[in-house]
Structure 1
Amino acid sequence: MIPVFKPSYDEREINALREIFKLGWIGLGPKTKEFEDKFSEFIGVKHSIGVNSCTAALHLALTILNIEGSEVITSPMTFVSSNHAILYSKATPVFADIQQDTLNIDPNSVKKLITNKTKAILVVHYGGHSCDMDEIMNIATSKGIVVIEDCAHGCGGSYKKRMLGSIGNIGCFSFHAVKNLACGDGGMITLNDDKWAKKLRSLRWLGIDKDTWSRNEIDKKYSWYYTVEEIGYKCHMNDIMAVLGLVQLEKLEYTNRRRKEITRIYNKEFASIHWLKTPIEKAGIDSANHNYVVKIAKDKRDAFTEYLASKDISTSVHYFPNHLYDVYKPYYRKLPVAESVWKEIVTLPLYPDMTDSDISKVINTVKEFSVKI
């Protein structure tokens, strides 16, 4: 079976893990710090704070804004963790509609939803393709609203030569097993604000002022001592995730380039299929190409996915609009584009280690289905 996603690992990751297992320090430690520093340099920000998931990154990012009782404008076209983080923070998710072509949040919809209770806009770079960040930032800046970038799909992508995760006030990344930079799990918060960064480092480690490694390295005489300044959470990164991240970061330029190459092959081969629309990449945007999502006539989607499954090709749907889930019924509003387009989308296999044979099989099978209908 050809999967939809698959991490790209080789001996380099295995050797990196072997090294820290020999050293014996696998918790929050020097490799996490090294990964944070290199990730900051890569994204072009002052601070990167390693956590155990993008969900935790979003939760902490919203927490430092003190948004309880406020509103956060957000996208319905995302994994539920994006919007669960808003509920964790006791704020109200306000769902904006999306753009038909990119499936990203629509700035025109955002404008109409701003109230005096709006404290943040949460944008999701769907599939690694940047949202219209100039429009979003102009809207937010004019109203004094914070912008959080959900870059779960966007590691390595850019908007007008600015790296995703460096444009809004805060960026949140996922290093889940199927993401472009895969650590099994993990996440990163990127930002330039010194005060927020200090608070985030405390919040990720139960509100403790110094992590164990820092106490061991800096305060050897009093390595047992720390103080607890606030109630925080247990969601820091560890050095197992970090060493995988360091290797994956070194490989990211190549793996993203391979994703882009496969995307171009798909687009070329599928261009003549009238019932299938391929994804776009707008001018000024360098997509991270996290996934490959096509649009298919609603009455053909089930037959299409079933046919590919019969040929041992996995597919998926990303996503069911969040505002339609039962848990979000209190926040429901009519979103015409999201409620229509999700019924057309199908995610086809895309990952760096796809062989030419795998790619050809996907293409040929799609074309075979085209003949059948």
Structure 2
Amino acid sequence: MRETIQLFRPAIGDEEIRAVEEVMRSGWLGLGPKTAEFERAFASAIGAFRVVGTISGTAALDLAVRLLNLSPGDEILAPTITFVSTAHVIVYNNCRPVFVDVDPVTLNISVEDVKRKLSSRTRAIMVVHYGGRPAELDELRAAVGHVPIIEDCAHASGAYYKGKHVGTFGEMGCFSFHAVKNLTMGEGGALAVHEKAHADRALQLRWLGIDKGTWERTPDNKSYWWEYAVNEVGLKCHLNDILAAIGIVQLKKLAALNARRKQIVDRYREAFADLDWLEMPAPDDADHRSSWHICCVRLRGRDRDALSEYLKAHAIMTGVHYKPIHLYRCYGYQLFLEVAEREFRRMISLPNHPGLSDDDVAHIIETIRRFPG
């Protein structure tokens, strides 16, 4: 019997295991030198002024909103097709999410609907790079003017827009290193900032509002190690050295891992070119270089759920990314977003990760081509 082909699978090897063992043996497991090393390396890799490591991508998004000093009831625009974290952090900060429809080709936030939803109450916009494909950042900046842009780069480690890494166009960029992400730590995230004031405050907010971490309160510091200030009520959402050690190794592999993802998508694209009922995601072009985190295909005249069940019966797992957030009960809006609701009904994510063998990919292709519909 064939082993089940998973939708996602982390690409972890012996080098990551050795890196974790080194940290475990060092006796310093929390926020410390490995976290700082990863922050420097990731900032250099993406071209950011400063990176602040967090325990999750959600925490990075939360910090980004907090740094804007918004007032209760302020509005933040966000695409409706994304993971719920994008909207939840808006509510965490007592603001109101205004859901925006998506582009029918890329599933990224619709620039035209942004223009319609923008108002005098808009204080920020969340821009998700869906599936790893960069959104239309220049058009969005022109549309929103000086309204702060928070880039949600949870899918987009290693993605580039017009030759520049995403997460460096807006006021802040937020990354996820969850177990299924292209650069994984198991859990983890990062906030990329471009102003010293934002960096300094984020470093405190992630550590309960305390002005220096335990690692910094050592005998080498000129102040006594038990002395610190608490300048505001913060969170406890910092990265730790165990996770950072994995991230340091993963960062070195990221380009190769993403190249394998693209290779798999290209094989799908070639194999399904003659299927008029299956629509592949938009390919890369001169301005958009995807990380290919998700391979979301869409069906024409075929039942999405039936295909999912059929593939599962043949040991192939799939997913749906995502149900539009405005349709969840906790948001409860009487809202109709035509493109998002239509595309949700016909989307399905195929396995796409470096752990897939050529034989796995061939099995997926052959099985889909035999789908009776």
- Give the TM-score normalised by structure 1: 0.97
Matches within 5 A, 1:1-373: 1-68=4-71, 69-141=73-145, 144-216=146-218, 218-219=220-221, 222-283=224-285, 284-297=287-300, 299-330=302-333, 332-369=334-371, 372-373=372-373
For the Cα contact (< 8 Å) 2:277–2:302, is it kept in 1? no
Counterpart amino acid of 1:289?
Answer: W
- Taking the aligned partners of 1:218 and 1:44, their CA distance within structure 2 comes to 30
Q: Deviations over 1:4-48 (max 9, x none)?
A: 000101100010011111111010000000000000000101100
- What runs of 5+ residues in structure 2 fail to find an aligned partner? none
**Paired residues, what number?**
368
C-alpha displacement at 1:281, in angstroms?
Answer: 2.5
- Taking the aligned partners of 1:282 and 1:71, their CA distance within structure 2 comes to 33
- Taking the aligned partners of 2:50 and 2:93, their CA distance within structure 1 comes to 23
Q: Deviations over 1:35-67 (max 9, x none)?
A: 000000001011000000010000110011122
Equivalent residue of 2:24, what SS?
helix
C-alpha displacement at 1:297, in angstroms?
Answer: 3.1
Counterpart amino acid of 2:139?
Answer: E
Counterpart amino acid of 1:313?
Answer: I
RMSD between aligned alpha carbons?
A: 1.1
- Taking the aligned partners of 2:301 and 2:98, their CA distance within structure 1 comes to 27
For the Cα contact (< 8 Å) 1:129–1:281, is it kept in 2? no
For the Cα contact (< 8 Å) 1:53–1:186, is it kept in 2? yes
| Cα pair distance change 1:298/1:91, threshold 3 Å | farther
For the Cα contact (< 8 Å) 1:175–1:181, is it kept in 2? yes
Q: Deviations over 1:173-211 (max 9, x none)?
A: 000000000100000000111101111100000000000
Equivalent residue of 1:304, what SS?
helix
- Taking the aligned partners of 2:265 and 2:356, their CA distance within structure 1 comes to 12
For the Cα contact (< 8 Å) 2:149–2:171, is it kept in 1? yes
- Taking the aligned partners of 2:170 and 2:351, their CA distance within structure 1 comes to 30
- Taking the aligned partners of 1:259 and 1:248, their CA distance within structure 2 comes to 15
C-alpha displacement at 1:218, in angstroms?
Answer: 3.9
For the Cα contact (< 8 Å) 2:53–2:191, is it kept in 1? yes
Counterpart amino acid of 2:205?
Answer: L
Q: Deviations over 1:266-313 (max 9, x none)?
A: 100011111000111253110000011100136421211111000000
Equivalent residue of 1:326, what SS?
coil
For the Cα contact (< 8 Å) 1:73–1:118, is it kept in 2? yes
Equivalent residue of 2:190, what SS?
strand
Equivalent residue of 1:14, what SS?
helix
- Taking the aligned partners of 2:206 and 2:275, their CA distance within structure 1 comes to 49
Percent of aligned pairs sharing the same letter: 43
C-alpha displacement at 1:333, in angstroms?
Answer: 2.4
- Taking the aligned partners of 1:244 and 1:137, their CA distance within structure 2 comes to 35
Q: Deviations over 1:47-94 (max 9, x none)?
A: 000000010000110011122321001001001011000000100000
Counterpart amino acid of 1:93?
Answer: P
Counterpart amino acid of 1:210?
Answer: K
- Give the TM-score normalised by structure 2: 0.97
**Dislocated runs of 4+, deviation >4 Å:** none
C-alpha displacement at 1:221, in angstroms?
Answer: 6.3
- Taking the aligned partners of 1:269 and 1:281, their CA distance within structure 2 comes to 15
| Cα pair distance change 1:355/1:282, threshold 3 Å | closer
Counterpart amino acid of 2:102?
Answer: I
Query: Greater helix share, 1 or 2?
Result: 1
Counterpart amino acid of 2:216?
Answer: S
Equivalent residue of 1:188, what SS?
strand
- Taking the aligned partners of 1:271 and 1:241, their CA distance within structure 2 comes to 41
- Taking the aligned partners of 2:195 and 2:186, their CA distance within structure 1 comes to 28
C-alpha displacement at 1:215, in angstroms?
Answer: 0.9
Counterpart amino acid of 2:40?
Answer: D
- Taking the aligned partners of 2:249 and 2:353, their CA distance within structure 1 comes to 17
